[in-house]
Structure 1
Amino acid sequence: MIFDASAFRSVLLVDARGVRAAHRGGSMAAEANHEVRSAPPRWLRPIGIRLLVLLVLFAMIDGAFAWLNVLAAKNPITGLASGVATAAAALFAYAKVTGWLEQRATPEVALRSLRPQLIRGVAIGAGLFTVTMLLIIICNGYRAGWGSVGDMFATLGLMTGIATCEELLFRGVLFRIVEERAGTVIAVVASSLLFGGLHLINPSATVWGAVAIAIQGGLLSAACFVLTRKLWLPIGFHLGWNFAESGIFGTTVSGSQSTVGGLLHGMTRGPAIISGGEFGPEASIFAVLVGGVAALVMLRIAHKRGKFIDPTW
């Protein structure tokens, strides 16, 4: 699941400035040492404005970092370093900007849950994509030769940055804020449809491919977030799926031409409904079934655990 950075090169810059205030006590020293946390202007507080500001900001971050990571991925060392650095920078920006704008802590990116959930997410994503590929291989829809270990590590860096930035945008901003007002069900549907729809900008995109991404990518990533209320599991899932797709099996990711290859140099063949055609294996009916079933199972578990939020209207 990846969409090209060129679509975000001409986006309006949003500059929001806070106002800092000081406690007034009994002495000048107390006044200098006790400051109230800066708050955003009143016009930034309505949910619609807040959603728009954060969407524009993180779309810009996503587009800029994706462009940088694609350039850096021409070399495995710079590719890996750039991917990790941009992921860390995007997470830092999310914690600071969202925390300031919403005047709250950001437990969804708390570091204490990073390692276990990220590892679990990568395992889920890579595992589900491997199952998808095994089904395609059984149907004679894939062939491969050896690729490059260097390309594999470059792809790992590229997908680390892409997965992190896209999950911050779609689950950390879009899904979470829509859910505040409209509830979990509408947030899942809306974020999944938009996530799939934006992949139509990719060079080899198809309408079916966008629908497939909405189901296996949008639904499953949303389910990961609903189940844990953290961003680490969906980031890990997104990374594991994309890395297995390009970094291991060497196939096209979401119709994009910005991937660099992987351990294998793979090609899909045969009917597009089986292999995914030029869009890549994500447009295969097997990817839709595997990802869709996994998403429904996770959403059912989340619902049973009381993780769903009702609309506030």
Structure 2
Amino acid sequence: MVFNDPRSAAQPATSDAPLIAAPDAGAGRPARWAASAWVRLPVLFILMLAVDAITAGINDTADGTALTALITGVATAGLALAVYVGLVRYLEGRRPRELALSRARSELSRGALFGLGLFSVTIGLVAMVGGYHVRGWGSIDGALTTLGLMICASVTEELAFRGALFRVLEEKAGTYGAVVVSGLVFGGLHLVNKDATVWGALSIAVESGLMFGALYAATRSLWPAIGLHFAWNAAEQGIYGTAVSGAGSGTGGLLRAYVSGPDILSGGSFGPEASIFAILVCAVPTVVFLRAAKRRDRIHRRGELAGARQA
């Protein structure tokens, strides 16, 4: 899949300039105490992790019906976006172009279609080796409830890990360093889930953490990653009825299913994300996105973005 390249003919080749230029007129002055990336990074990342935890708690209490889950999921996702925008304006004195509304609809749609396709290929491979079994039809209400939960989770996690951790860390560690570190932290935090395993967390780091980071590097937009993240998780549980990232059985999906066989093939109790097939399937777009980022001159060396911000 090819995502839109936001560069216009009037912009220079270094298309990241809007992200690191001087503060926007009318957006307010950046907080002077947060001028250093090493200061902004923990503040923004920890605050967005707190938003993730708070909204997750709210959604967990509102999943009694599909309607309340959907409404609450959309509302809390909107709240998280508003918090992120407010923090970026305060800490950096700019409007977050990584959340440009003009790109939201098309990039969310493309990301979602791509995520649905990626997971469908993954579960298809698991099924081919006898690791995925369908017992029968599940519940439409359960699937819609899952959608509500995943809407918020995909937004808050991408804001925290790509919008905060990757984006700010890239100023100091460069693009490749930010991809690796944000991916490892993303996978590591999945160890707190109910059925977490070290292998599962490492799988998440490699297949999802690296892929989402590479996608952001290629597009410089959070919308494609949010769409991909949402559709992958929604398909995993809401359609195919399998566990998501070791978080337990969840609210159900359109199909009642289970996995069996060696964990390396099926993913075991962690879910298909811990399958070697998921790693292999996601490795392909990760390489494609990184190549696209390089072609678009969006791979930055250590300190390059920090220098541009100060210039």
TM-score range, shorter chain: 0.7 to 0.9
Does residue 243 (structure 1) correspond to residue 221 (structure 2)? The answer is: no
Deviation of the 1:38 alpha carbon: 4.8
1:283 deviates by 0.4
- RMSD (CA atoms): 1.5
Residues 151 and 37 (structure 1 numbering): CA distance in 2 closer, same or farther, change over 3 Å?
closer
Match of 1:255? 246
Match of 2:56 among 63, 66, 75: 66
Q: Aligned equivalents of 2:283 and 2:151: distance in 1?
A: 23
Unaligned runs of 5+ in 1: 1-34
Counterparts of 2:298 and 2:37 in 1: how far apart (Å)? 22
Match of 1:211 among 190, 202, 212: 202
**Are positions 1:174 and 2:165 aligned together?**
yes
Q: What's the CA shift for 1:39? A: 3.4
2:71 counterpart residue number: 81
Report the CA distance between 1:263 and its aligned residue: 0.6
| Structure of higher CA gyration radius | 1
Output aligned runs, 1:83-122, within 5 Å.
83-122=73-112
Of 261, 277, 282, 1:270 maps to 261
How far the C-alpha of 1:74 sits from its partner, in A, is 2.5
Change (3 A) 1:155 1:192: same
Aligned residue type for 2:223: W
Match of 2:287 among 296, 300, 304: 296
| 1:254 aligned counterpart, secondary structure | coil
Deviations 1:172-226 (A, max 9, x none): 0000000012110000000000000111111111111011101111011111111
Deviation of 1:238 after TM superposition, in Å, equals: 0.3
Cα 1:36/1:241, change in 2 over 3 Å: closer
Q: Is the 8 A contact 1:70 1:258 kept in 2?
A: no
Counterpart of 2:75 in structure 1: which amino acid? A
The Cα of 1:37 is off from its aligned counterpart by 6.2
Q: Distance in 2 between matches of 1:71 and 1:219?
A: 32
Q: CA offsets, 1:117-148, max 9 Å, x none?
A: 00000011110000001101111101122110
Whole-Å Cα distance in 2 between the matches of residues 258 and 172 of structure 1?
29
Q: Once the two structures are aligned, what percentage of the paired residues are identical?
A: 48
**Is 2:241 the counterpart of 1:227?**
no
Aligned match for 1:287, one of 271, 278, 282: 278
Distance 2:249 2:35 in 1: 37
Aligned length: 279
Q: Which residue of 2 aligns with 1:27?
A: none
Distance in 2 (CA, whole Å) between partners of 1:131 and 1:36 is: 46
CA apart distance, 1:45: 2.4
Contact 2:241 2:255 in 1 (8 A): yes
Residues 273 and 285, structure 1, Cα contact 8 Å, conserved in 2: yes
| Conserved? CA contact 1:269–1:277, under 8 Å | yes
Q: What is the CA distance between 1:36 and its match in structure 2?
A: 7.9
Shift in alpha-carbon separation, 1:41–1:232, aligned structure 2, 3 A: closer
2:250, 2:289 → 1: CA distance? Answer: 29
> TM-score, normalising length from structure 1?
0.86
Gaps of 5+ in 2: 1-24, 305-311
The structural deviation recorded for 1:46 is 2.0
Is this contact kept in 2: 1:70–1:259, CA < 8 A? no
Letter in structure 2 aligned against 1:47: A
CA positional deviation for 1:43: 2.2
1:164 aligns with 2:155: yes
Q: Which residue is equivalent to 1:15?
A: none
Q: Which amino acid in the other structure matches residue 159 of structure 2?
A: L
Match of residue 129, structure 2, among 126, 132, 139? 139
Q: Which deviates more, 224-233 or 301-310?
A: 301-310
- Aligned AA for 1:61? V
Find out whether 1:42 has 2:32 as its counterpart: yes
Partners of 2:302 and 2:218 in 1: CA distance: 18
Residue deviations 1:275-302 (CA, integer Å, cap 9, x gap): 1001000001100100122211211122
Task: Tell me if the contact between 1:171 and 1:222 (Cα under 8 Å) persists in the aligned partners.
Answer: yes
In 1, the alpha carbon distance for the partners of 2:199 and 2:124 equals 21
